Amino acid sequence: MPSNSDMPRYILRNCTVFADRVSKIGQASEITLPVPTEKVEEMRNAGMVMPIDIPMGYEKMESSFKLSGFDPQVIQLFGLSVGVEREFMVTGALAHEDGTIINATAYIRGRLIKNDHGSWKPGEAGENDFQITLRYYRLEIDGRTVIEASPFDVSIGGVSQTSSIRSALLA
């Protein structure tokens, strides 16, 4: 019999999104979390026989979700004044095959930049597609911060990936 560590773990069983971190939106049919992506530039200096990629920071992050309901509360989060941001919270239930269930939570702050109401067809459930451009992102799994990112710092597992550059700039 396989040990518990051999069994599948961290399987997403269900998820939901909270708009403005106030009201639960239980009609989410799809949620796309931000994709942290390192920005690299190709460089080939004199004496090098092949180019290498060098890290230059991080790409802009976006997130999205689809709702099966035509919710005016969410629709009104679009087109806010300059400087106004909204908070979204995505929660997920992760299951281990030994029966353990843990929480995953993504905290997202930014602006709703896409408010697509899709096509309407009689007799079919419509979907509304929303896109968020991010100013802040934090992913926690079982209460531990795995990723935290803002325009000024990126932390992986609680360790800043950008503090030495920031320190050099502030010296």
Convert the pLDDT of each residue in 78-88 to its tens digit.
878 888 899 99
Whole-number average pLDDT of the chain: 90
How far apart are alpha carbons 79 and 2 in whole angstroms? 53
Give yes or no for residue 24 having a pLDDT over 70.
no
As a whole number of angstroms, the distance between CA 151 and CA 89 comes to 19
Whole-prediction pTM:
0.87
pLDDT score, position 1:
45
Q: Which residues, in sequence order, are CB contacts of 38 under 8 Å at separation 6+?
A: 55, 57, 58, 59
Give the model confidence (pLDDT) of 31-86 as tens digits.
999 999 999 999 999 999 999 999 999 999 999 999 888 888 888 888 788 888 99
Instruction: Assess whether pLDDT exceeds 60 at residue 156.
Output: yes
Question: Going by DSSP bridges, is the β-strand pair 153-156/159-160 parallel, antiparallel, or unpaired?
Answer: antiparallel
Residue 18, Cβ density class (10 Å: 0-12 exposed, 13-18 middle, ≥19 buried):
middle
